[in-house]
């Protein structure tokens, strides 16, 4: 499991997001935090 810490700049950016967008970003961060070490960076694709 990764531990994600954010910079003050990221926090300001995140707080300025629309609620729905912030929810998507938070979900992606949660996924990276829990599954990051097992993800294959070479084979991973971007989700849109």
For the chain, the domains span 8-37
| The pLDDT of residue 19 is above 60 | yes
pLDDT bin (cut points 50, 70, 90) of residue 18 is: very high
Alpha-carbon gap, residue 25 to 3, rounded angstroms = 16
Type and span of the H or E element at 27: helix 19-35
pTM of the predicted structure, to 2 decimals: 0.68
Average pLDDT over residues 2-11: 89
Closest C-alpha among 6, 13, 4 to residue 31: 4
């Amino acid at each position: 499991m990764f531990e994600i810490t954010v910079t003050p700049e990221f926090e300001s950016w995140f707080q300025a997001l629309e609620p729905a967008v912030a929810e998507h970003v938070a979900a992606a961060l949660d996924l990276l935090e829990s599954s990051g070490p097992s993800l294959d960076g070479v084979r991973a694709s971007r989700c849109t």
